[in-house]
Structure 1
Amino acid sequence: MGASLNEIKQRIGSTKKTSQITKAMQMVSASKLTKSESHSNNFQIYAHKVREVVTHMTAQELTDIYTNNVHDGVNYNSMLLARPVKKTGYIVITSDGGLVGGYNSSILKQMMTMLEEDHESQDDYVMIAIGGTGADFFKARGINLAYELRNLSDQPSFDEVRKIVTMATTMYQNEVFDELYVCYNHHINSLTSQFRVEKMLPITDLDPDEAESYEQEYLFEPSKAAILDQLLPQYAESLIYGSIVDAKTAEHAAGMTAMKTATDNAKNIIDDLTISFNRARQGAITQEITEIVAGAIALE
């Protein structure tokens, strides 16, 4: 009985130490989440303004394209025009490590389902992975990666992802693939995220009816087409970057929730072990009293 009591006491001690670690990790993730949400909100202000400018500059072109009234001789930017899809590009965003609950598994499971349903072979798509978990997952299943990016910081700057987002838009312009989707977990709140597949290229989500009207006309130098050649890739890159920031926010929220769950589970285990310890100790005391009484009776 004494050995059993010591064993229970050791388990209580080790579980308490584990709960202290998970509690500290929960607080760290909560701090990262707060910073990431602020980063994401600030970026949304920038993204809204860029969208407003791009929509205004492309309003006439968008109207022609959406009404299928494309004029001969007009140089429509290739990033606005849909073309026959021979290959599809995917950017899949996961975390680099674990301890984030079901964050990665939900993304990868739904990605594999989508690939199996939409494509007959690997020749139909080009895969780009952001995050070591996703990269290792696809490699283990024989899926070739055009590019992978690991070890992003908790609040990634645009410079960190510039190479991969620029490469993605360049691959589209060079017709390596004919449309590009970004697949990731969208942050809703600290407890909820949602798998999202967003079409980034061609740029088809702009509404010409949203275009602002101004009394004064824009003066373009050297030309409107030349400016759009620079602006539209930057706009597409900003959309991809925004998805990465959003995914990082969801990752920190998942980490915080996972560590809170682990801390709560540790507390439940400690409570159960404490009850077991008290019962075992009460049993030992009862046994000792019984033995003393039995001995006293034997001496009478």
Structure 2
Amino acid sequence: MPGLKDVKEKIKGVKKTAQITKAMNMVASAKLRGAQEKMERFRPYAGKFAETMRDLSGGMENGDLPLMEVREVKKVEILVVTSDRGLCGSFNANIIKTAERLRKQYEAEGKAVSFVTVGKKGTQALKKSGKLRVHFNDIMGSFQMFNAREISQNITEAFLNGESDQVDIVYGRFHSVAVQKPEREDLLPIKPVTDGEGTASGKAEMSGSYTYEPDPGEIMEVLLPLFLNVQIYHAMLEVGASEHAARMTAMDNATNACKDMITQLTRLYNKARQAAVTSELMDIVGGAEALKG
């Protein structure tokens, strides 16, 4: 059985750890409120932008614009958005696993795969694969739209130069404080939505016919890069909110685990102290018996 001093030191150390995890939980909770509010304000904008793009692209054909050019897919690029910091449970690991599973699927189909990472955790994990083309680190703590624009320009140039035939994005979507799931979406080429797809969603019957000036093709040429910026920025907002929610849950679980450890160690300490007192009493009684003899 460990000595009293050892157990006492362990209890002291676990209590300090519990104080740290509790503080981190409170910090994550405060940051989550701001990140969630920002994300929820942006969601309607991103949704309306996508709706406008669907309406504009309805009468266009694949390949009308460079960013809509559909080619034979030989090279796929995967944009992976994770956080820069850890201590948020399995949040980043789940995103990375989804990206790796997607890579294996494409490689099984005979396609070459490369990665573009946003966030230090994704970079550290996928760098080992040797397929990392470019990374954007240390921006997830305070990113702005210009960061999304820089990422968008990089993957767009690669697509237009023929370095990739298809671009996917993998990120963690915020569903609730308790649930954040990895999502995979198409980025490039941007595909026009047909009436059939609109009917399937139940919205085509309600949508009206619009007249655009200038020509929809000219509008699309300007809006397509902006649409990519919005998609990437939206994914970064989702990951930002999800990171704080996952860290809050992880730190809450860690604090509860520390409390359980303190309870167990306190029991062990009491047993050790009782054993020490019993041993001392037995020595005293034994000595007294020896004196009587």
Matched residue, 2:24 = 25
Matched residue, 2:152 = 165
1:14-93 equivalence runs, <5 A? 14-61=13-60, 65=61, 76-93=64-81
Q: Which runs of 5+ in 1 are unaligned?
A: none
- The answer to whether the aligner puts 1:204 opposite 2:191 as a matched pair is yes
User: Among residues 159, 167, 170, which one is paired with 1:180 in the alignment?
Assistant: 167
Say how many residue pairs are matched.
284
Q: Using the alignment, how far apart are the partners of 1:25 and 1:170 within structure 2?
A: 40
Cα distance 1:122–1:36, how it changes in 2: closer, same or farther (>3 A)? farther
Deviation at 1:205, TM superposition (A): 7.1
Deviation at 1:55, TM superposition (A): 2.5
Cα distance 1:87–1:195, how it changes in 2: closer, same or farther (>3 A)? same
Cα distance 1:56–1:142, how it changes in 2: closer, same or farther (>3 A)? closer
Matched residue, 2:278 = 286
Alignment check: 8 A CA contact 2:119 2:140 kept: no
Matched residue SS, 1:79: helix
Q: Could you state the TM-score of these two structures normalised by the residue count of structure 1?
A: 0.84
Matched residue SS, 1:60: coil
Structure 1 runs of 4+ off > 6 angstroms? none
Q: Using the alignment, how far apart are the partners of 2:255 and 2:50 within structure 1?
A: 43
Q: Which runs of 5+ in 2 are unaligned?
A: none
Alignment check: 8 A CA contact 1:77 1:229 kept: yes
TM-superposition CA deviations, 1:244-296 (whole Å, max 9, x none): 21122222222222212211111111111100111111222222333333334
Alignment check: 8 A CA contact 2:74 2:110 kept: no
Q: Using the alignment, how far apart are the partners of 1:32 and 1:188 within structure 2?
A: 17
Q: Could you state the TM-score of these two structures normalised by the residue count of structure 2?
A: 0.86
Matched residue, 1:264 = 256
Query: Which stretch shows the higher mean deviation, 88-97 or 104-113?
Result: 104-113
The Cα RMSD (Å) is 2.6
TM-superposition CA deviations, 1:46-101 (whole Å, max 9, x none): 1122123222323322xxx4xxxx8xxxx823434432212111101122232122
- The answer to whether the aligner puts 1:138 opposite 2:132 as a matched pair is no
Matched residue, 1:238 = 230
Deviation at 1:182, TM superposition (A): 0.3
Alignment check: 8 A CA contact 1:36 1:249 kept: yes
Cα distance 1:58–1:127, how it changes in 2: closer, same or farther (>3 A)? same
TM-superposition CA deviations, 1:13-66 (whole Å, max 9, x none): 1110011001111111122222221111111111122123222323322xxx4x
- The answer to whether the aligner puts 1:213 opposite 2:200 as a matched pair is no
Q: Using the alignment, how far apart are the partners of 1:28 and 1:137 within structure 2?
A: 26
